[in-house]
Structure 1
Amino acid sequence: MIRPRLFQSVKSALGVIKRFASNISEQKVNVGGIDINYVKSGDGPNGILLMPGAIGSAWTDFKPQIEKLPSLLPDYTIIAWDPPGYGKSIPPRRQFGLDFFQKDAEWAKDFMQALGYSSFSILGWSDGGITSMIMAAKHRRLVDNMIIWGAGAYINEKEIKLIEGMRDVSTWSQRMREPLEKLYGPERFAEIWSEWIDAMLEFFKQRNGNFCREDIEKIVVPTLILHGVKDPMIAEEHIPYIRKRILGCRYYSFPEGKHNIHLKYSDEFNNVVANFLLQKY
């Protein structure tokens, strides 16, 4: 038998979950002639843009944040986008020039302004973290706070060899392949992933691996760096490199975490993010 007080607590918790779940919507907005797909949850006056990793999208990369962050941050609206050429923001076909991170940063700025935000916070994972650093350096008045993880300012030879070993997606586990195959179709998924790897090789050959080395020392916005200590996708040198150059940045580590700490440890991750934005961390 459920005691009345416990029943009311459960009922209240379910009510909160239902309220935020019903407040999730997916839509498109035209920005510069491109229909950009995004998912919105929560209804607070402050905006948070979630920036996905390589070839990722709102739902493949940020499901736990879309569904759970609004309950922790009622004064915020969570916005997760599919960058142009990714996910449901197709067309256009994705282009991977040496300036694609810079272009994504400008698209993200224009996208958020099209939604009516004069400033907002950003959460950037992996490639999205690189784009976030570029945006925070270039548009200081636009970015309120920045949280990044799984990202570096450059790519080194060891990392190039690692991603080359991942080119054949048929060697990936079904769990890793399935959401991206569903998003793009098996053929296009393999193709776009290979195009991304080729872009990384060009960065290494033509720019000594440099993504945004010249940008990070210009970042002055409040910054939190999250780190999966056992992340196999980025070299250990990146974290001290960034921490040394972004003055006043905060740091939080997941000792057993790998590249996807926001998915594997979503509750802890979300709480750390919320505490940082609420100035409790």
Structure 2
Amino acid sequence: MGYYISVESGVKLYVEDLNPGGQKTIVFLHGWPLSHKQFEYQFNVLPSMGYRCIGIDWRGFGQSDKPVSGYTYDRLADDIRVVVDTLQLRDFTLAGHSTGGAIAIRYMARHHGHGVSRLVLIDAAAPRGFTEETANHLLAEALQDRPKMMREVTETFFFQYISEPFSDWFMQMGMQAASWSTAAIIMTLRDENVAADLPQIAVPTLIVHGIHDKVIPFAQAHELHQAIRHSQLVPFSYSGHGPFWEERDRFNQLMAQFAG
């Protein structure tokens, strides 16, 4: 089922909550500039295995409200804390993809891992996000021809072949975001990093990363592994930036094993 949670005055986040009676809970944070719908192929499988799966659209993206401000890692992490407290979540697995991974890391540090028993970082945009050159290019495209920018993102995202209908679906997901939030997150990815947060992570952490990732280099996964205690790194040999799509069966099995 889907519903909205108010995280501050005038800002509500959309939450997709599947199998609320599940024995174990996994909270999914999507990547830029997508939405909870990117986890469709996890939501098809994991709830039937007994997991409660919660997908949160960050502010500015998907079906959530789209204010003109609030696109720092601190504010985005605070939004997640409000959702966690509102739903009274405890002992859950927090899974973040790309920018969602950076938000998850900031949540772990800023909120002392409140409620989280396990962390999954999927091709996380951490400890750094975009280079200044990449960010400035994407920012110019986002402000001048956002559909063209989304086409470029689509072309660099995948290692394996995707069909034209799948590409169109991916494009539509990205275009559901507001143009101003799309641009604001590009600047956040350029200007912020979460390096100082990594030593504060104290829960078992699974790092999943496609070795052919052209968005966030695989070398950054090694940096995370070295900096986060109790972490394990699992390379995905046939994936780019989206192993939950490109190697979905293996990814789902790994998630189920790790979440317990």
Could you say whether these structures have the same fold, taking a TM-score greater than 0.5 normalized by the shorter chain as the test? yes
Q: 2:62 aligns with which of 87, 94, 104?
A: 87
| Cα displacement (A) at 1:169 | 3.6
Matches within 5 A, 1:95-110: 95-96=70-71, 100-110=72-82
Find the counterpart in structure 2 of residue 154 from structure 1.
128
Distance (whole Å) between structure 2 residues aligned to residue 235 and residue 160 of structure 1: 15
The offset of 1:94, in angstroms, is 4.8
User: In structure 2, what is the Cα distance between the partners aligned to 1:114 and 1:228?
Assistant: 34
Question: How big is each residue's C-alpha offset from its partner over 1:112-150, in whole Å with a ceiling of 9 and x where there is no partner?
Answer: 110121342101000110011122233235211000111
Deviation at 1:211, TM superposition (A): 1.2
Correspondent of 1:259 among 237, 241, 244: 241
Say which SS state the counterpart of residue 200 (structure 2) adopts: coil
Q: Residues 140, 179 of structure 1: CA spacing in aligned structure 2 closer, same or farther, 3 A cutoff?
A: closer
- Structure-2 residue corresponding to 1:114: 86
CA distance in structure 1 between the partners assigned to 2:147 and 2:107 by the alignment: 35
Could you give the per-residue CA deviations for residues 27-60 of structure 1, whole angstroms, max 9, x where no partner exists?
112333332211111221432210011132111x
Match of 1:27 in 2: 3
Q: Match for residue 249 of structure 1?
A: 231
Does 2:16 correspond to 1:39? yes
Partner of 1:177: 171
Output the CA distance in 2 between the equivalents of 1:95 and 1:105: 10
**Alpha-carbon distance between aligned partners in 1 of 2:60 and 2:32, rounded to the nearest angstrom:** 11
2:257 aligns with 275
Q: Is this contact kept in 1: 2:90–2:116, CA < 8 A?
A: no
Q: Secondary structure at the match of 2:208?
A: strand
Deviation sequence 1:222-249 (CA, Å, 0-9, x none): 1000010000001233112111111121
Residue correspondences, number: 234
Which of 36, 48, 55 matches 1:58? 36
Q: Distance in 2 between matches of 1:107 and 1:269?
A: 27
Greater mean alpha carbon deviation, residues 268-277 or residues 233-242: 233-242
The aligned runs of 1:125-136 (5 Å cut-off) are 125-136=97-108
Please list every run of 5 or more consecutive structure 1 residues that lacks an aligned counterpart in the other structure: 1-24, 204-209
Residue 179 of structure 1, CA deviation: 2.5
What SS does structure 1 have at the residue aligned with 2:13? strand
- Please give the root-mean-square deviation of Cα atoms over the aligned residues, in Å: 2.1
Query: Which residue of structure 1 aligns with residue 187 of structure 2?
Result: 198
Please say if residues 41 and 67 of structure 1, whose CA atoms lie closer than 8 Å, have aligned partners that are also in contact.
Answer: no
Moved over 6 A (4+): none
Letter in 2 for 1:50: F
Q: Closer, same or farther in 2 for the Cα pair 1:236/1:58, shift >3 Å?
A: closer
Greater Rg over alpha carbons, structure = 1
State the TM-score, normalized to the length of structure 2: 0.81
* Separation (CA, whole Å) in 2 of partners of 1:241 and 1:225: 11
- In the other structure, the counterpart of 1:14 is none
2:128 maps to amino acid: Y
The higher-RCO structure (CA 8 Å, 6+ apart) is 2
Determine the C-alpha separation between the residues in 1 that align with 2:42 and 2:52: 11
Cα distance in 1 between the residues matched to 2:247 and 2:81: 29
Q: Distance in 2 between matches of 1:198 and 1:127?
A: 12
Q: CA deviation at 1:270?
A: 0.7
CA shift, 1:84, in A, is 2.1
Deviations 1:149-193 (A, max 9, x none): 11111236xx33334444354431663422323x24xxx44x543
Separation in structure 2 between the aligned mates of residue 232 and residue 49 of structure 1, nearest angstrom: 26
TM-score (norm 1): 0.76
| CA distance, structure 1, for counterparts of residue 66 and residue 218 of structure 2 | 37
- Contact 1:122/1:143 (8 A) holds in 2: yes
